[in-house]
Amino acid sequence: MCLLAFELQNHPNYKLVLMANRDEEYKRPTAPAAFWSDDPTILAGRDLEQLGTWLGINKQGKIAALTNYRDFTLPIKGEKSRGHIVSSFLQSDIAPQTFMEELHANQAQYTGFNVLAGSSEELFYYSNLEQSIKQVTPGIHGLCNALLDTPWPKVEKSKTLLRAYMKQTETVDPEVLFSFMQRAETFPAEQLPDTGVGSELESLLSSIFIASEEYGTRCTTVVTIDKNNDVYFEERTFKNGIFASAQKYVFTIEKPANS
């Protein structure tokens, strides 16, 4: 996962509206979003190399998303796959803040990451670069390959698009959100961060939707949770920058058995 923008608890009809792009090497084997056969409560795509995921939700409304932290001037570290952070949270029964505290205690096992974990009721953010657990405030937020709401151009652009749309709509049209995440224009060099990849690659990676010979946006996901706890989840996959398939799921969050 390399870019997401979302609105949390800031709309009369929706608790959460999220749009996200996952960028990855085209050759990395990936399963499209589905309820997992080995854990049917989890809805997510799946990295078939490590069996983790970058974004998922479960039937009880737990949601999590992960991005890598991109700074090639930092030493490489971490033995565990970062995608297991998301799946571990979705499979756990512990509260999100407790999960983040345990993750913080074990953060050195992973290369640089950002993770959002919680639900549409309360969402938490943690990065093992910043090493500070934060509850996400209501409003519009964006996350790419730096810390939450770091003003990289494509983060700011996706937040601006989402903010303007949510202010003027009562019912979210997923097509609009997908169109936002398809924007392929790059940004001027003077606006871009220096993450140690060189100016040419920095420019390529600056667009919301990325397409190159070997690396790019593999899927776009839209998730909405309304005030009735109805979930809309749609993922569109791409092959070499060209639309390949779509997976759509609609369900109502289940109440815990002891509620």
State the SS3 of 108-139: HHCCCEEEEEECCCCEEEEECCCCCCEECCCE
Q: Quick check: helix, strand or coil at residue 139?
A: strand
d(CA 196, CA 242) in angstroms, rounded, equals 28
Average of per-residue pLDDT values in the chain: 96
- Which option is the CATH number for 3-252: 3.10.450.50, 3.40.50.1000, 3.60.60.10, 1.10.10.1100? 3.60.60.10
For 202-236, how does the pLDDT look when each residue is reduced to its tens digit (9 = 90+)?
999 999 999 999 999 999 999 999 999 999 999 99
Calculate what percentage of the chain has a pLDDT beyond 70: 98
Structure tokens given for 60: 């009880």
Q: Which amino acid is at 195?
A: T
* Residue 10 pLDDT greater than 80, yes or no: yes
d(CA 207, CA 67) in angstroms, rounded, equals 16
* CA atoms within 13 Å, Cβ hemisphere of 108: 1
Q: Which burial class, exposed, middle or buried, applies to 171 when counting CB atoms under 10 A from its CB (0-12, 13-18, 19+)?
A: exposed
Beta bridge partners of 3: 21
**Neighbouring C-beta atoms of residue 8, cutoff 10 Å:** 23
Mean pLDDT of 66-88: 91
d(CA 243, CA 259) in angstroms, rounded, equals 42
Mean pLDDT of 11-22: 98
* Residue 22 pLDDT greater than 80, yes or no: yes
**Neighbouring C-beta atoms of residue 190, cutoff 10 Å:** 5
